[in-house]
Structure 1
Amino acid sequence: MCYEHDISDTISHRDTLPPPSVLRHVVDVHCHPTDSEIPVKSMDNLPIIIGAMSTLQADQGLVRDLATAFPDKVVPSFGYHPWFTHWIALASYESKESHYRHIFKDADEHTEAFQKLLVHLPEPVILRAILDDVRQNLMAFPSAMLGEVGIDKAFRVPYDHFTSPGGLTPFTVPFEHQLAILEAQLDLAAELGRNVSMHSVKSQMATVELLDRMAVKHGEHWTKISIDIHSCGLSPQTWLSIERRHPNVFLSLSTVINSRSPNHRALIAACSPRRILVESDCHKIEDCAQRTWDMVLIVAEVKGWPVESSWEEVVDESQQGVVRHLENNWKEFVQGNHVGLNKIIKRPTRER
């Protein structure tokens, strides 16, 4: 998930798309279409499948409605994003202000900023109610994923999430609070056997430790589901460590986020051909197909895979095109039931 900005600043894309016979096999595994107006015509004309994310209480129903209206084009995802976890209380609380003072330990050091922020903050919701909501939505859609959920050590709380630009406060959401809410949601995904779209920013070693912990905690239930680290910003070295230890973890990349850094090409080169997915991370449905295709072309270039100009063209397996590679990866991701989990060896780690 990203704030709105001019995508043209991050990549000069081709503005060309392949034939519909190829596009219908492309999956944008992570986007946020309900963050903007969605014209019905745009959905009717959408040539790809999208994974539509929810992030906070207000958009769970929007994603549900979109998936109900377009079941053949939308894979819904339900969950609560780390940017909104301060709105969630782990237990009962005395008042709205007492909850946020508990979250923001340094509120007394920034009294004016805290009072200014408090006006824009919603009444907190108890974690138990959040989990009940996610559970109901997941059970209503057999193909639904958990998402977007995750952890973010770079995020600073804005004064108003719905004003652009809203300005940033001096406050951050305590990492332990983010992690408690993430783990509760991951426990639910393991229980229900649902795949996950996960956000991880400036949290490399914490992500490694989390995956190790979940694998030990849930055992076979964990390996039955797939985890996608979306708009993955991990170093190639950290990714390879995860790839070796966790056969159920994939990564997806977007031009809107990953093209800001040249690291994404090294990450593509290092990643197993079977673990790569692509996404747009867009909030405008009209942009999803082109932005996803832009990333398809980058993956093809780095991996040396041909780009299909026609789906009917028959080639031998050694010359399999990028869209077929990525479609097979998506099918493996959806299917889950991964095997070969290596024994998790505890070792000291440090944040990079």
Structure 2
Amino acid sequence: MAQSAKQEEPFPWHIGVFDAHCHPTDTVPSIDKIASMKTRALTIMATRGQDQTIVADFADRLGITEQIIPTLRAPAPTQKAQGHVLPSFGWHPWFSHQIYDDRSSDTTRNCGPPDKKKHYQQVLSPAPDDDHIFVQSLPDPRSLSALLNQTREYLKQYPLALIGEIGLDRAFRIPGVDMVDNAYERDPSLTPGGREGRRLSPYRVEMHHQRMLLKAQLNLAGEMQRAVSVHGVSAHGILFETLQETWRGHEKPVLSKRQRKRRASVDAAHENDDEPETTKSNSGSDGPKPFPPRICLHSYSGPPDTISQYLHPSIPADIFFSFSTLVNFSPETKKAVAAIKAVPNDRILAESDLHAAGERMEHLLEEIIRTICRIKEWSLEDGAKQLSSNWMHFTFGQR
């Protein structure tokens, strides 16, 4: 009865509720619903060539600015939430086969893009040797240098923007040519480039190719000192190894108990000397590095007992774990519950991971926050405050 009663508690939208990962640019008309949403801010991901400019357009119309950041923290019991947008620019592993690496070969750069058929034979498994119709249906490969340059320009244009969605996926198969239903008609409201009702082909992207693209974007995030949102499916071990490679040689020294106590005393003595919190960590003031300052493992589906490896005190990046109803609780699993219990209170985030803004997105966000609060044994108000603080830390580096 207590749990049922708790579910009936009014949801504290006024505190400030943040969606750490969503895709409303997949359904462009839904942008008109954002301004009326109760959600304080949406962290919107780009995934492929077709949606980079759309994410930028959403940011132009509804984007967060540095002047707005203080208002995001303030409770607004009588004021409508403004539904601001925080853009993220990146290339998802589902579309990684469309990129070729032109950084190390002068010959490739001088001669233009590689032969289309040879490229896809090299990066797909099994190699589509005789599947001419499938290869012809794929886009011409795009240069990694051009992709990184475009992303860098977006990050300069939007100084609060993140990099995402990027990552690794062993399970994904590229959509084929045939439709699931011959009568299928493409929904004109959907952004091109997705699955769009097509049957899945037998082809997967080689893991070495996915890793190449992921590392390149992680390095760019380090260069620009931006947080990243990372996708990881059926590749949890190799994902950790790939992230670890970017910060190798930059690990923080692990202090003994005595050293930690001494440092705490020094910090306490100088507590009042600190400057006011700003968004300096997003501006690159800490200097370029080969790894991002903050990493969110979105809709984390890895084993609960591997969470501790991401929390080792030597890791120089702050690691967050976000959860969604769509991925983690459809239906609820013991693994997801155990993972939420294992994540420290200040490193957990909530997301909808939905493709359209509006009521369903808010329903999913409210549902996952209620679930997290139940598992963490938080009140809804305390949970909303904690998740709000965590989102500010992840996105802007503010504690």
Q: Same fold (TM over 0.5)?
A: yes
Distance apart, 1:337 and its partner CA: 8.6
In the alignment, structure 1 residue 300 sits paired with structure 2 residue 373: yes
Q: Quick check: 1:79–1:149 contact (8 Å CA) kept in 2?
A: yes
Distance apart, 1:98 and its partner CA: 2.1
Match of 1:131 in 2: 148
Match of 2:11 in 1: 18
1:27-47 C-alpha deviation (Å, 9 max, x unpaired): 101000010133454122022
Distance apart, 1:71 and its partner CA: 1.5
Match of 2:226 in 1: 194
In the alignment, structure 1 residue 248 sits paired with structure 2 residue 265: no
Alignment of 1:253-268 (within 5 A): 253-260=323-330, 261-262=332-333, 263-268=335-340
Distance, in Å, in 1 between the alignment partners of 2:133 and 2:122 is: 17
Distance, in Å, in 2 between the alignment partners of 1:44 and 1:70 is: 8
Larger radius of gyration: 2
**Secondary structure at 2:380 match in 1:** coil
Distance, in Å, in 2 between the alignment partners of 1:36 and 1:158 is: 19
Aligned mate of 2:383, from 311, 319, 322: 322
Q: Which residue identity lines up with residue 235 of structure 1 in the other structure?
A: P
Distance, in Å, in 2 between the alignment partners of 1:16 and 1:158 is: 43
Distance, in Å, in 2 between the alignment partners of 1:40 and 1:156 is: 29
Distance, in Å, in 1 between the alignment partners of 2:88 and 2:204 is: 26
Aligned mate of 1:37, from 13, 23, 28: 28
**Secondary structure at 2:175 match in 1:** coil
Structure 1 residues not aligned, in runs of 5+? 1-13, 309-320, 339-352
Distance apart, 1:222 and its partner CA: 6.1
Q: Between 116-125 and 128-137, report the one with greater CA deviation.
A: 116-125
Alignment of 1:111-260 (within 5 A): 111=130, 114-160=131-177, 162-216=194-248, 221=289, 225-245=293-313, 246=315, 248-260=318-330
Distance apart, 1:171 and its partner CA: 1.1
**Secondary structure at 1:244 match in 2:** coil
Structure 2 residues not aligned, in runs of 5+? 1-6, 65-83, 103-107, 178-192, 252-285
Distance, in Å, in 2 between the alignment partners of 1:130 and 1:186 is: 13
**Secondary structure at 2:205 match in 1:** coil
Q: Quick check: 2:31–2:357 contact (8 Å CA) kept in 1?
A: no
Q: Quick check: 1:43–1:285 contact (8 Å CA) kept in 2?
A: yes
Distance, in Å, in 2 between the alignment partners of 1:150 and 1:273 is: 24
Residues 217 and 201 (structure 1), Cα distance of their counterparts in 2 relative to 1, 3 Å cut: farther
Distance apart, 1:207 and its partner CA: 1.8
Aligned mate of 2:19, from 28, 48, 57: 28
Distance, in Å, in 2 between the alignment partners of 1:184 and 1:159 is: 27
Match of 2:266 in 1: none
Distance, in Å, in 2 between the alignment partners of 1:211 and 1:163 is: 28
**Secondary structure at 1:228 match in 2:** strand
In the alignment, structure 1 residue 333 sits paired with structure 2 residue 394: yes
In the alignment, structure 1 residue 47 sits paired with structure 2 residue 49: no
Q: Which residue identity lines up with residue 322 of structure 1 in the other structure?
A: G
Q: Quick check: 1:231–1:253 contact (8 Å CA) kept in 2?
A: yes
Distance, in Å, in 2 between the alignment partners of 1:298 and 1:105 is: 39
Distance apart, 1:15 and its partner CA: 10
Match of 1:101 in 2: 121
1:101-147 C-alpha deviation (Å, 9 max, x unpaired): 22235336x62xx2231132001101000101111111110110000
Residues 244 and 167 (structure 1), Cα distance of their counterparts in 2 relative to 1, 3 Å cut: same
**Secondary structure at 1:28 match in 2:** strand
Match of 2:265 in 1: none
Match of 2:4 in 1: none
Q: Which residue identity lines up with residue 171 of structure 1 in the other structure?
A: Y
Q: Quick check: 2:166–2:230 contact (8 Å CA) kept in 1?
A: yes
4+ residue segments displaced more than 6 Å: 14-17
Match of 2:185 in 1: none
Distance, in Å, in 1 between the alignment partners of 2:61 and 2:157 is: 14
Give the root-mean-square deviation of aligned CA atoms. 2.3
Distance, in Å, in 2 between the alignment partners of 1:182 and 1:257 is: 22
Distance, in Å, in 1 between the alignment partners of 2:151 and 2:341 is: 36
Q: Which residue identity lines up with residue 227 of structure 1 in the other structure?
A: I
- TM-score normalised by L of structure 2: 0.72
**Secondary structure at 2:293 match in 1:** coil
1:149-188 C-alpha deviation (Å, 9 max, x unpaired): 0001111111155454311212110000000001001000
Residues 75 and 36 (structure 1), Cα distance of their counterparts in 2 relative to 1, 3 Å cut: same
Distance, in Å, in 2 between the alignment partners of 1:40 and 1:151 is: 28
Q: Quick check: 1:248–1:336 contact (8 Å CA) kept in 2?
A: no
Q: Quick check: 2:168–2:232 contact (8 Å CA) kept in 1?
A: yes
